[in-house]
Amino acid sequence: MYNPPMITYDEFKKVEIRAGKILSVEKVPDTDKLLKLSVDFGEKIENLLPDGTKEVVLKPRQIISGIALYFPDITILAGKTCMFVTNLEPRTIRGFESQGMIFAVSTEAGAFSLLEPHGDIPPGTQAG
């Protein structure tokens, strides 16, 4: 019987879970499992242009995930909205910084699924 370590409700409240739209996907070179995802969480930054005006642009995050074996055609991931943990400390994996973690489930029998919200959920929407 699986007996996971218990955490308090206050510890759980620290986990930020947000919807993110996958913009693009690339295989991480020299690996079989890793994909580099560019994900929109609705975050934007202001750039100051040479003429002094400000431009607001999308600031996607990079997520490195070990899900490549489940997606022989990685292009089907682009455009999907999935759930992510967005407040993990950045971690370097095979030389690439990962700025979050995608939620997925799998079974010993090989079934696999990403956690995808139903309906029209905008990027950045927080679970809770």
pLDDT surpasses 90 at 1: no
Position 2 scores a pLDDT of 83
Q: pTM score, two decimals?
A: 0.89
Chain segment 83-101, per-residue pLDDT in tens: 999 999 999 999 999 999 9
- The mean pLDDT value for 100-115 works out to 95
Position 92 scores a pLDDT of 97
Question: What are the C-alpha distances in Å from 121 to residues 20, 35, 60, 117, 118?
Answer: 9, 24, 17, 7, 7
Amino acid 12 reads: F
Chain segment 22-76, per-residue pLDDT in tens: 999 999 999 999 999 999 999 998 989 999 899 988 899 999 999 999 999 999 9
Task: Give the span between the Cα atoms of 2 and 43, in whole angstroms.
Answer: 38
CATH topology of domain 17-45+53-114: OB fold (Dihydrolipoamide Acetyltransferase, E2P) (2.40.50)
Q: How confident is the model at residue 128 (pLDDT cuts 50, 70, 90)?
A: confident
Q: Are strands 104-106 and 35-40 parallel, antiparallel or unpaired?
A: unpaired
Q: Could you write out the three-class secondary structure of 31-51?
A: CCCCEEEEEECCCEEEEECCC
